[in-house]
Amino acid sequence: MKRIISKSFLAITATYLLLGCGATTMVLTPVEKIDTVPLKIADLTESQKKSWGHADLITDTIPGMSVDKAYREIIGSRKGTKVIVAVLDSGIDLKHEDLDGVLWTNKKEKPGNGKDDDNNGYIDDIHGYNFLGESYNEQLEYARILRLKLGDAALQAKAKTKLNEEYQQAMGNKQQYEQILQAVKNADAAVKKQLGKTDYTKKDVSGIQPETEEMQRHIGVLMQMYTFADSIPEVLDELNNGIKHFTEQLNYNLKVDFDGRKDVGDNPYDLLDTRYGNGNPQNRVEDESHGTHVAGIIAAERNNGKGANGVANNVAIMSVRAVPNGDEYDKDIALGIRYAVDNGAKIINCSFGKSFSPNAEWVYDAIKYAASKDVLIVHAAGNDGANLDDPSNPNYPNDQISNGPEFADNVITVGALDSKYGSEMVASYSNYGAINVDVFAPGTDIYSTIPNNKYEFMPGTSMASPAVAGVAALIRSQYPKLSAGQVKKVILESGLSPKTAVILGGDASMNNTLDKISTTGKIVNAYNALLMARTMATGK
C-alpha cells in the first residue's frame, strides 16, 4: 500500500515554489435528507477529530458511519457472537494497552515450545503468524521485477519506466524537503534570537518589525509554515518525517539491487516453499505502525477510558504479518489469506495494494478459497487519486480481471472520505472507479493505536478499509447466520447516497457523483447496515 504523507507535506512542497519566488423510531436514513444537510462551517473539536468516523451525517453534519448511533439505538449492551478478524498487514503491537484484550489466541498451541502442537503447519502461532521473518524494509514490486528479471520484455520495460519516474520524483521531493527544512531552521533560529526566547507563537512572529530584508524573509517563511501546522516544532517534525520517507524510498523501495528478503530463507516466487517465517507477528520496530493502527480502527477496546474506540465490540484480532515497508509478495498474501481462513477468521482486512503483481493468480485462488469458506475480505482501494477502471492504473489484489465480472462475491473495495461533507468529502488521494471501488468510508486523519501504547492520526484508504471491516464484524457478531455474501450485500446496499458532485484526485476541474465513481454510489453506514441485516436475518 502506497504510504500517505500528511496533507501538510504536500502543501509544504507546493509552498517551496512560493518561497523560491518569495431512542427514536429506527428506520433507515431517508435518501432525500442527505443532500439537505447543511455544510459544517466550524472546525472539528478535538473530540470530534478523534472520533469523526463514528459520527452521524444527519445530526453531526460529519460524513461518519453512524457508529455511535448504532450502539446507542440498536446494539445497546448486547455483545453478540465473537468474530475473528484477521489483520493481514505489518506486525501489530500485541502488548498495546488498547489491543491486548482483543487479541485472537490459538488455544490449541502451546507458546514457546517450538512445536506445531495443533498440526496446522505453523509453529507457535499464538496470536497469528509472521510471514516476513525478521525482514521489514522491502522493494516495490517493479524494482524486484528488474532485479530478478521477472516476466517478459514488455513487463520489464513497463517496470523500468515506472521505476525511473518514481525514483526521480522521490529524489526531487527529498531535495526540496531538505532545502525547506534548512530555510525553516534558519528562520526559527533567527526569530528565537530576535525574541529572546525559545518558545514563541504565530502572534509573536507577526508582531516582529523587521529591520532587514533577511529578517523579513525569515518571518515570511515561518508565517507560511503556520498555514500548515499550529507550531514550528510540528512543521520541523513533519519535514524530518518527509525526508525520512523519501530516503527510505530511495534506499529500499526503489533501489534495484536491494534485497530485503535475503535473510528470510525462502524463495518468495515459489508458492510451494512454505517453511519460512515464525509465530511472532509483533511489529519489529516502532515505525512499523501500520498494522497496529489498522487493528485499533477495527477493535480498540471500547469505553475503557483509553485512547480510541474501535468500531466493533466483540472481536478477536488475528495478526498476520505479511506487509513490509514496501510492496508485499504475492506468495505471502496468498498464504496469509489461507492461514486466516483455516484458523477461523470470518473477516480479513487487507489494507495494502500494488500496481504490479507477477503472481496475481495465487492471490485470486486464495480469495476464491476464502469465498468457499464463507470469509469476507475488505480491501483498501489505494492512494494514488486515480481511476482504477483505467487499465493503466491497476491495483492488486482485486476481485475481477481486466474490468470483467467479479470472480468471487466476498470482496469489498473501499475508497476514503475526508471529514468535510460536500464536494471535498472524497479524499484527494483516494482511488475510485465505477467498476473497481464499491463504497467509501472515513479514511483521512483517523485516530487510532500505534506501537508502545501511543495513538496517532493517519490518513489513507488503509484506514477506510478497517472501518468497513469493523462494520462487517458488527453485523457478523449480531447476526452470525448471515453469509459473507449477505454481509457484503448489506454493507453495499445500506449506505447513504449523496447526490452532490465530488472533486476527484484533488483536481477541482475533475468531479463526478459517487454513483459514477463507485459501484454503489454510497458511503458506509453502520446504523443502516444493522437494520438491514436484522431484516435479512429475521424477516422483520
Query: Catalytic residue positions?
Result: 263, 290, 462
CB of 400 closer than 8 Å to CB of 413: no
C-alpha cell at 374: 464463507
Query: Residue 40: which residues within 8 A CB-CB, separation 6 or more?
Result: 60, 61, 62, 420, 421
Please name the amino acid found at residue 145: I
Q: In this structure, are strands 507-513 and 501-504 parallel, antiparallel, or unpaired?
A: antiparallel
Q: Measure the CA angle with vertex 64, ends 62 and 65; round to 5°.
A: 150
43 DSSP assignment = P
How many whole angstroms separate alpha carbon 133 and alpha carbon 522?
40
Q: What is the DSSP string of 207-246?
A: T---SSHHHHHHHHHHHHHTTT-SSHHHHHHHHHHHHHHH
| Buried-state track 32-60, b at ≥16 Cβ within 10 A, e below 16 | eebeebeebeeebeeebebbbbbbbbbeb
How many whole angstroms separate alpha carbon 520 and alpha carbon 514?
8
Peptide bond into 397 cis (omega under 30): yes
Q: What is the DSSP string of 395-429?
A: -BS-SSSTT---S-S-EEEEEEE-SS-STT-B-TT
C-alpha cell at 129: 503468524
Contacts 24+ apart (CB under 8 A), 259-265: 259/139, 259/147, 260/135, 260/136, 260/137, 260/138, 260/139, 260/324, 260/326, 261/135, 261/138, 261/329, 263/133, 263/134, 263/135, 264/132, 264/133, 264/134, 264/135, 265/133
Query: Residue 41: which residues within 8 A CB-CB, separation 6 or more?
Result: none
CB of 464 closer than 8 Å to CB of 439: no
Helix (H) or strand (E) holding 334: helix 330-342
* Angle between helices 290-299 and 461-478 in degrees, nearest 10: 40
Q: Which residue has the cell 486515480?
A: 386
Helix (H) or strand (E) holding 295: helix 290-299
How many whole angstroms separate alpha carbon 472 and alpha carbon 40?
28
